[in-house]
């Protein structure tokens, strides 16, 4: 990794998805709409169908990305439950954490995790607030 991960730079782009697939799908939709506007009288069914399929492809790409992120979030929650249990965080605290809070806690070092988990429950911290509170960042380079 070229740069140490931190709160300011932990977001991640998937180059193939964000910079190739999505832009091409958007261009395809624009082209389909343009063609539909110009040629709807000559080929009404074909151009409308192309617009519909172009929109469906964008929806499929978004759904695919959301599914990958959802599966990742489930694994993160499981990992964090195990880590919190191993660090002797009270069961009531673990159960009180929301899924988004657990996902935010994944970047906290083992030394600060128990106190931060207690604070997250007590103060109803958001995922972003939890990440901003972390002093010793534990990087995650394997995110989807």
Task: For 12-66, write each residue's pLDDT tens digit.
Answer: 778 899 899 999 999 999 999 999 999 989 989 999 999 999 999 999 999 999 9
Q: How far apart are CA 132 and CA 45, in angstroms?
A: 52
Residue 2's pLDDT is what? 55
Structure tokens at 70: 């959802």
Q: How far apart are CA 90 and CA 126, in angstroms?
A: 20
Residue 108 bridge partners (DSSP): 137
> Is the CA virtual torsion 46, 48, 54, 57 positive or negative?
negative
pTM value is: 0.77
């Amino acid at each position: 990794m070229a740069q140490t991960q931190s709160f300011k730079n932990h977001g991640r782009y998937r180059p193939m998805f964000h910079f190739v697939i999505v832009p091409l799908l958007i261009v395809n939709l624009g082209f389909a709409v343009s063609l539909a506007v110009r040629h709807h009288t000559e080929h009404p069914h074909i151009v409308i169908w192309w617009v519909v399929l172009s929109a469906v492809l964008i929806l499929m790409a978004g759904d695919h990305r959301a599914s990958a992120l959802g599966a990742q979030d489930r694994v993160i929650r499981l990992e964090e439950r195990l880590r919190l249990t191993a660090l002797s965080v009270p069961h009531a605290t673990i159960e009180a954490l929301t899924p988004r809070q657990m996902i935010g806690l994944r970047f906290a070092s083992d030394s600060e995790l128990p106190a931060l988990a207690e604070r997250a429950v007590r103060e109803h911290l958001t995922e972003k607030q939890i990440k901003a509170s972390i002093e010793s960042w534990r990087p995650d380079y394997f995110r989807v």
